Amino acid sequence: MKQPKILFILHLPPPIHGAAMLGQFIVDSKIINSNYETKYINLGTTKTFKERKRVTFSKLSNFINLFKSCFSAYGSYKPDLVYISLTSNGMGFYKDALIVFMLKLRGAKLVYHFHNKGIKNHQHKFLDNFLYKRVLRNVDIVLGSKWIYEDIQKYVSLDKIQYCHNGIPKVTYDIKKRELKSENSPTEILFLSNLIESKGVYTLLNACKHLDERGLDFRCTYVGNVGDIKAEELQEKIEQLNLTTKVHYAGKKYEKEKHEAFENAHIFAFPTHYPNECFPLVLLEAMQYSLPVISCPEGGVRDIIDDNETGFIVPQKDAKSLADKLEVLIKNPSLQIEMGTAGNLKYQKEFTVEMYGKRLDNIFKNALRK
């Protein structure tokens, strides 16, 4: 029996970010590549995060080549379905929209997968509203969570929506079994993400100040690349709060060093209020390492964390509430183990890369039957 053809137009690393990682998971997926004839085109036009924020001749040239590749691939490959990891707003959306219009004119059957949000915040703009109405018409939409639907509900009815929780591969390193920390050692809190203010960098820092004032024994480590907060800016804030013995920035960590950061932690804190947050993979990573996780009700976080079972969900930008939940875990090492174990079981049941591939496979089968 002839396999259906799918043309994948998606983000691939570099740079490394959530959408690119998920794109690579699809490229590497055994279930997708065994059930379909596949062709992949990288939707990205930059190689670094700095380039993403600038309009350059190089990016324009890369987009022209990307457009030509999509045009040529659709004509020669003749796919039964086209999957696009669509950007929700900004210049990325305008770029993707041009590719979409070309494919629609050629009669392509389209499935969009949103790994970010922000449509609701841009739908009042004349040009964005005009484009959203046309780009999102008569297509299937994949979202990571039911909590994200409100971002797109003005333009897409529920019958056009399918949900697909993200998944991540098992790390290649052996993960040690969690044990109670020694009574005389501090509780290690880990934050791992780019230093972006809306990821909750300063919220966590202010929570650490509360913990210090309460006399609690802890250390907090920030791991990640610089973003809109520079390393020296974070260090200055740490010094202003007199937290130099409690908090430190460890810089970027990859592979084994990243593994060790998770292994050495007792609690994972990610108090995000990032407006485009959908289904943060870093929470799944922490759960794979059996860490209790604390985050905020942004995007699909409420589908990841079972509040009071695998961790805690706290209000956004609320350093005191975050400190209160961190204090609960610091004072109860056995609860750290209990919540971390529950989180690991949920990861194994719902958030592996194999489950991600199976969910996408079912979505593609449904789309092809229409």
pLDDT of residue 183: 83
* pLDDT band of 50, cuts 50, 70, 90: low
Cβ proximity of 77 and 39 under 8 Å = yes
Mean pLDDT on 92-115: 97
d(CA 72, CA 1) in angstroms, rounded, equals 26
pLDDT of residue 143: 98
How buried is 255 (Cβ within 10 angstroms: 0-12 exposed, 13-18 middle, 19+ buried)?
A: exposed
Q: Which of 43-52, 130-139, 221-230, 272-281 is predicted with the least confidence, judged by mean pLDDT?
A: 43-52
pLDDT in tens, 276-315: 999 999 999 999 999 999 999 999 999 999 999 999 999 9
Tell whether the model's pLDDT for residue 92 goes beyond 90: yes
pLDDT of residue 16: 82
pLDDT of residue 182: 84
Cis peptide preceding 13, ω within 30 of 0 = no
Name the pTM for this structure.
0.94
d(CA 341, CA 154) in angstroms, rounded, equals 40
Tell whether the model's pLDDT for residue 49 goes beyond 70: no
Tell whether the model's pLDDT for residue 186 goes beyond 90: yes
How buried is 290 (Cβ within 10 angstroms: 0-12 exposed, 13-18 middle, 19+ buried)?
A: buried
* pLDDT band of 53, cuts 50, 70, 90: low
pLDDT in tens, 319-364: 999 999 999 999 999 999 999 999 999 999 999 999 999 999 999 9
User: 55 vs 32, which has greater pLDDT?
Assistant: 32
Mean pLDDT on 130-135: 98
* pLDDT band of 56, cuts 50, 70, 90: confident
pLDDT in tens, 219-266: 999 999 999 999 999 999 999 999 999 999 999 999 999 999 999 999
d(CA 297, CA 301) in angstroms, rounded, equals 6
Report the share of the chain in percent with pLDDT over 70.
98
* pLDDT band of 52, cuts 50, 70, 90: low
Report the share of the chain in percent with pLDDT over 90.
92
> Which architecture characterizes domain 187-350 according to CATH?
3-Layer(aba) Sandwich (3.40)
Domain ranges of the chain: 5-168+352-369, 187-350
Lookup result for tokens 């700095």: 50
Cis peptide preceding 15, ω within 30 of 0 = yes
pLDDT of residue 315: 98
C-alpha to C-alpha distances, 134 to 97, 139, 176, nearest whole angstrom: 9, 10, 51
d(CA 13, CA 28) in angstroms, rounded, equals 13
Domain 187-350 in the same topology as domain 5-168+352-369: yes
Cβ proximity of 175 and 289 under 8 Å = yes
Cβ proximity of 141 and 163 under 8 Å = no
pLDDT in tens, 111-129: 999 999 999 999 999 999 9
Report residue 149 as tokens: 């639907």
Mean pLDDT on 78-98: 96
d(CA 288, CA 308) in angstroms, rounded, equals 18
* pLDDT band of 201, cuts 50, 70, 90: very high
* pLDDT band of 46, cuts 50, 70, 90: confident
Mean pLDDT of the chain: 96
* CATH, range 5-168+352-369: 3.40.50.2000
